Structure 1
Amino acid sequence: MASAISGRPLRFLTSRSPKHPPHKWNQINNSANASVPALRFVVPNLHNPHPLPLRPPLSLCLPPLLPRPPLSSLLGPCPPPLRHSLPLMTTSQAAASDSSQSSSSAKTVRLVIKGRVQGVFYRDWTVGNATELGLKGWVRNRRDGSVETLLSGNPDAVKEMEQRCRRGPPSAVVTGLGVFPSTEDPGTGFERKQTV
């Protein structure tokens, strides 16, 4: 079928003749080749006497115009970097500050963070920041979509961690933060707990 079509000449003729209605395909006979019909497309009011040069058709196998995404974006998200706003303490400084603190000067609070805070590394970010500030306690997801954390330590460090939790990691969107005083035992370090 394709060879029969490719062997036939295909002609497009234009005409301004009033005999032929505009925008219609007409079948005409050639005197040179009466057995092969030619098609004529009639376009009214063509004012350009010079035909446009024919352009080769675009190839469908062109290379993509957009660059390929980097491999790192295909591998998924990675934990966000920690924000450093307080000077880092060495382990000897942290141990000295822990031993010099009395239990009466330590502040313990429970935070409930709401918004887009699950699936954005909020708990890992909290563990890193709390450890950096020398705080004790834990963090966990809740089934209602919020994150809950217990913070205990130097009152200034607890206040700084509250401010950091209001912002959260870069991918988080915090819409609410509840701060509640607590007498719960924070434990010896800062840990990530299971969802409740």
Structure 2
Amino acid sequence: MMATTELGKSAVGNPALGDTGPGNDTRSRILAAARALFAERGYAGTSLADIGAAVGLTKTAVAYHFHPKDRLAAEIIAPAAEDLLVLLGTDFGGDRDAFLEAYVAFVVRHRAVMRLMIDDVSGADDASPGTLGEAIRTFGDEIFNRLAGPDPSPAGRTLTWAVLGAVQLAVVKTMDRPEEEVRTILRAATAAMVGAAVR
């Protein structure tokens, strides 16, 4: 599967991203600051200099550990990327309801980085071939295709975008709510949306 290969290279299969040890306090501090700033300002609105200032380092010092900036995003996203590989590698036997339920669980579990994955990195204008953004876009297309099914009608495509949009917006707007609560509500809401469309 091409998407799996590309994201694996970008986010979880890059040896340069695997050198964080428990004693590497500087890298941990940089990652924590980047995660907070990306959530607050967005990926495009956060520079290496901003991240450095948050931890008392120069831009050059941050770049020593993470250059270019998408390496920071890749490491922050890596746990979610690994789970996404598992999700898309699972055979649901064509059961779109089961896939949707699993997708909702995935999005809620990783909601802290969903804005970074969906809006900032994959939505960037410079998400060129071979980049992390391009890989995430490819995965987004695959998720859409799994939910829409083969040869969807215009109405089916619209419904799929509506479901995906509702889930993705809901998780970033409910960060203050317990995971189980959000997951339960979204499962019921998406099932109702799909059920209403087929009646």
Fold match, TM over 0.5?
A: no
Q: Which has the higher helix share?
A: 2
Name the structure with the higher strand share.
1
Q: TM-score, normalised by structure 1?
A: 0.27
Relative contact order higher in (CA < 8 Å, ≥ 6 apart)? 2
Larger Rg over CA atoms: 1
